[in-house]
Structure 1
Amino acid sequence: MTDSPVPAAGAITAELIASFDEASVAELARRLDEDDYPTPFEGLQDWHVMRALAIHRPELARPYVHLVDQEPFDED
């Protein structure tokens, strides 16, 4: 992976969210879209960061909101 502001593990802080710019959000979105993570937990961490960005910095996450939207599904 490239240099990423997303911590390997840990809390999503206001400082972390503030550290993102258009390029780093695009990189995060690319990783989520490719979904090629060594562990499911790394993908989940990125998803949580993108979700936090969608809530707190929607202007950056708007082009990638499809990556955090959850569609309803039929359990039958």
Structure 2
Amino acid sequence: MTTLSLTGQDVSGFTQEDVAALAKRLEQDDYTNPFEALKDWHTLRAVAFQRQELAEPYLYLLDIEAYDEA
């Protein structure tokens, strides 16, 4: 399994195809070690924060919940 290698989580050049491939790897969960999966998860999370329109169809993979700190 090949994971993306990013320095500083620069996702400005990501395309819809890049994010779809990333999500597909996460859905298949066929990694040789858990750190590769975690790296892809963090990459998708960075995309969700920086380019939300690309990650919106795959937000269910992140399990991000709103927190009420009141």
Pairwise TM-score range, normalised by the shorter structure: 0.7 to 0.9
Give 1:70 shift: 4.6
Q: Which amino acid counterpart does residue 57 of structure 2 have in structure 1?
A: P
Aligned length in residues:
65
Question: d(CA) in 1 for partners of 2:45 and 2:18?
Answer: 14
Contact 1:12–1:49 at 8 Å: present in 2 too?
no
Stretches of structure 2 lacking an aligned partner (at least 5 in a row): 66-70
Give 1:12 shift: 3.4
Q: Among all aligned residue pairs of Structure 1 and Structure 2, give the percentage whose two residues are the same amino acid.
A: 48
Question: d(CA) in 2 for partners of 1:55 and 1:28?
Answer: 15
Q: Which amino acid counterpart does residue 59 of structure 1 have in structure 2?
A: E
Q: Which amino acid counterpart does residue 12 of structure 1 have in structure 2?
A: G
Contact 2:26–2:40 at 8 Å: present in 1 too?
yes
Contact 2:26–2:41 at 8 Å: present in 1 too?
yes
TM-score normalised over the length of structure 2 = 0.81
Please provide the CA RMSD for this pair: 1.9
Alignment correspondent of 1:52: 46
